[in-house]
Amino acid sequence: MAPLDEDPSRDLLLQPAKYHANDYGSVSSSDLEAPTQQQAVLDRSIENEVLEETAVTGRNLGWSSAYILIMSRVIGSGIFATPGVIVQSVGSVGLSLVLWLVGAIFAWFGLAITLEYGCMLPRSGGDKVYLEYVYRRPRFLAATLIGMHSVLLGFTASNCIVFAEYVLFARGGEGTQLEMRMLAGGLLTSIVVMHSIFLRTGILIQNTLGWLKIGLVVFMVFTGVFVVFLRPRDADALSLPAHSAGIWEGSNWNWGIISTAFFKVWYSYNGLQNINNVLNEVKNPVKTLKSAASTALLTSCILYLLINVAYFLVVPLDEISRSGELIAALFFQRVFGAQAGQVILPAAVALSAAGNVMVTTFSHARMIQEIARQGILPIGPIASSSKPFGAPMGALFIHWIPSMLVICLPPGNVYSLILDIEAFPAQFFAIASSFGIIWLRWQRPDLRRPYKAFLPAVWIRIALSASLILAPFAPRPGLNWREHLSEVSYALVGSTVLLFAIMYWYVWAKLLPRWGGYRVEEEAAILDDGTTTYIRPHVAQKVTVRDIAGEEEKYTLDSHGFQIYTHESKEKDFLDDDKIKAEYYPETEQLLKDATGAVRVYIFDHTIRRQPKDRSQDPTKIQLRGPVRRVHIDQSYSASEDRVRHHLPEEAEGLLNKRFQIINVWRPIKTILKDPLAVADSHSVPDTDLVGTALIYPDRRGETYSVKANDKHQWYYKYGQTPSEVTLIKCFDNLDDGRAKRVPHTAFTNPDEEDKYDRESIEARCLVFYDY
């Protein structure tokens, strides 16, 4: 094997980042600077996605707003529009009621999963955050899938259509298709404008409409009771038979038909997880999420069952089957007469549908904003920003586009088709998130879980979602293959969207980097409004990385900022953190004193870089990370002094008055061939090439330096570095007398060694003090 300086060109990504982000999309502590062992308990030794994040607009949603955000999403146009379609499909009152009851039970299964995720990862973004957190490989695939689904299929068109239909019905007729589209489009547009410009006013209006909606449903339930007990003369017209056996008359037990109807029922419960999309804006998010979501589930389940009974008590079955989306209007008309039924109460239902559009638009725009922050889809920083009115105007506009296109589709049973298209792909995500809960229970028992889902319910949800995915393809009696495909077109459309997302990911994350000779990496940037967004630079830098083997004595901490120091350690395996602290720390302290002349050394943490052989081992026992392939310096100048104040607060001022350094003691655990360490000559890297990189810890903020690319940087490494050859890396020196002050460093790829065994190394980070 020839040394690297005989073939000096090597790919080394020098990333001009304003802020460093880890591979999973949130500004956090990373491989550049590990938390202390005391912090690891709070940090839970996991990337800081587990920490709460506050939106730049602040936390504006209390318990009442959170509850209404859920209830207004759940009790939308579904309960006013779908019962007729469901009864028409399944053929009987009994089977229809069973579907609503079973839907409530399975809604709890789904809610329990989102509660565990939401309490464990209290951040805006919902499924996008959860799936990306669990499924980190292949990189960016989970985020791309959920992002594409949310952007392309995140409609609010269905409720806009119901709003328009009820307004036209209240006016005295069905109206023309043009009128329906104008009303639906006008509602959507006005709500987008409201949430874009008048944030607090929009929240107030949607809260008001939410309570109005709950009151409306309660009122409808009591009207059903009124009909039964005070108007017995109408008993012959009731849909509920006098004998229980009669409620099953006409039932259609075909699983394909039942599953399609169940999709609509389940969608009517959809929205219990609505608050998970906006947790950055919720006050006391974990406590509020558990309480508001559970209360909303109980409330909505009771109201749904009672209002279905009310429908069957008032409206004859044959009229329900023919009613389509106007079942609620027929209900009011039969109870209160033509005038009230056709004008006043349908208008109230239309307002209820408008409330659903408001909360769905509000939360879904936050989901799109999180996706835009990720930098995966080409929707850019415009959708990430909350300028100019403190609301995600760009994300709201992106949400407006597909919904408006659906509103403009040709006439037909658009509402039912929209429900099915939205619900089908979501089952794949439901399965993925459910398996994610099980996997995290096994792999990450150390994570703090304020709420834990009932595992049998998780498995049942997996089975249900799988059956719903397969159900559209079950044979249907009396239909040829063309008619069958037409009936299940929603499944084909939904599957096509997911396949398109996979193709987009493969081209963007795999093919283009391969063809272009670059690697996709994340970089965080702060927008003018304070929003953190993540972009991915696609430019690799060719640099000369020179092998210093045989000339190690020329490179010292003061002359270049790094030094190869020969030292044989008693520790060979580095498998136990307690043993490392008890035995390796003291010999490392002595090593630094001998190498530098320091009078005191304080090791504040260490990192072992190797892939675990046993993935099931307790992750809290030993911290394992891979090589960092980003050019960086572990501490900025200000953060270096803060390190002393943080670890030695009582002595800090006296220690800072004398010379001190931060030095990394980097040691191979076995001879390094793959992913070697490269260090730059300190004097070849001016301060103007250093860019501050924020690190967010549970109890403090830190900062490292990222490094801009510059062809004047001089890079060095030692080929085949052995465990007895230690690299001392100066991260900071408070002396300003011309000596090397700090050293950028990184792992880099040597293509000739990529087939070798994985790198194993340990680095101890040390505060080094002198008596002058």
Report whether pLDDT(20) > 60.
no
Q: Are strands 562-566 and 725-733 parallel, antiparallel or unpaired?
A: antiparallel
Which of 676, 758, 714, 156 is closest to 398 using CA atoms? 156
What is the spatial distance between Cα 124 and Cα 412, in angstroms, rounded to a whole number? 36
Q: Can you give the three-state secondary structure of 454-518, one letter per residue?
A: CHHHHHHHHHHHHHHHHHHHCCCCCCCHHHHHHHCHHHHHHHHHHHHHHHHHHHHHHHHHHHHCC
Residue of higher predicted confidence among 640 and 620: 640
Average pLDDT over residues 675-680: 92
**Res. 240 pLDDT band, cuts 50 70 90:** low
Residue of higher predicted confidence among 633 and 614: 633
- State residue 150's pLDDT score: 77
- DSSP H helices, 507-636, are 512-516, 577-579, 585-596
- State residue 77's pLDDT score: 59
pTM equals 0.57
Residue of higher predicted confidence among 219 and 341: 219
What is the spatial distance between Cα 535 and Cα 523, in angstroms, rounded to a whole number? 5
The answer to whether 631 and 625 have CB atoms below 8 angstroms apart is: no
Among the ranges given (148-152, 203-207, 546-550, 590-594), the one the predictor scored with the smallest mean pLDDT: 148-152
What is the spatial distance between Cα 44 and Cα 29, in angstroms, rounded to a whole number? 12
Report whether pLDDT(412) > 70.
no
Q: Which helix (H) or strand (E) holds 372?
A: helix 345-374
Identity of the amino acid at 619: P
Omega of the bond prior to 388 within 30 degrees of 0, cis?
A: yes
Q: What's the N-to-C CA distance of the chain in angstroms?
A: 46
Give the CATH number of domain 58-493; options: 3.40.1080.10, 1.20.1740.10, 1.50.10.20, 1.10.760.10.
Answer: 1.20.1740.10
The number of C-alpha atoms within 13 Å of 764 and in the hemisphere containing its C-beta is 24
Q: Mind listing the pLDDT tens digit for each residue in 101-116?
A: 888 888 888 889 989 9
Average pLDDT over residues 601-622: 67
Beta-carbon contacts of 648 under 8 Å, excluding residues fewer than 6 positions away, are 602, 655, 767
- DSSP H helices, 75-156, are 77-81, 83-90, 93-120, 127-134, 141-153
Backbone angles phi, psi at 397, to 5 degrees: -65, -40
**Res. 56 pLDDT band, cuts 50 70 90:** very low
- State residue 32's pLDDT score: 32
Q: Mind listing the pLDDT tens digit for each residue in 333-349?
A: 777 776 666 676 677 77
Q: What's the whole-number average pLDDT of the chain? A: 76
Average pLDDT over residues 245-259: 73
What is the spatial distance between Cα 540 and Cα 751, in angstroms, rounded to a whole number? 14
- State residue 530's pLDDT score: 45
Report whether pLDDT(507) > 90.
no
- State residue 58's pLDDT score: 58
Report whether pLDDT(18) > 50.
no
- State residue 372's pLDDT score: 72
What is the spatial distance between Cα 421 and Cα 400, in angstroms, rounded to a whole number? 18
Please name the residue that has the structure tokens 């992750």.
619
DSSP 143: H
- State residue 728's pLDDT score: 96
Beta-carbon contacts of 158 under 8 Å, excluding residues fewer than 6 positions away, are 77, 414, 415, 418, 419
Q: Are strands 725-733 and 600-609 parallel, antiparallel or unpaired?
A: unpaired
Backbone angles phi, psi at 509, to 5 degrees: -100, -15
**Res. 531 pLDDT band, cuts 50 70 90:** very low
Among the ranges given (147-156, 182-191, 583-592, 715-724), the one the predictor scored with the smallest mean pLDDT: 147-156
Report whether pLDDT(12) > 70.
no
Domain boundaries, the chain: 4-48+537-769, 58-493
Beta-carbon contacts of 467 under 8 Å, excluding residues fewer than 6 positions away, are 255, 259
Report whether pLDDT(576) > 80.
yes
Strongest mean pLDDT among 77-86, 700-709, 733-742: 733-742
**Res. 227 pLDDT band, cuts 50 70 90:** low
- State residue 280's pLDDT score: 78
Among the ranges given (147-161, 338-352, 573-587), the one the predictor scored with the smallest mean pLDDT: 338-352
Please name the residue that has the structure tokens 């209290």.
122
Strongest mean pLDDT among 412-421, 476-485, 677-686: 677-686
Report whether pLDDT(735) > 80.
yes
Tokens read off for 23: 């591979």
**Res. 679 pLDDT band, cuts 50 70 90:** very high
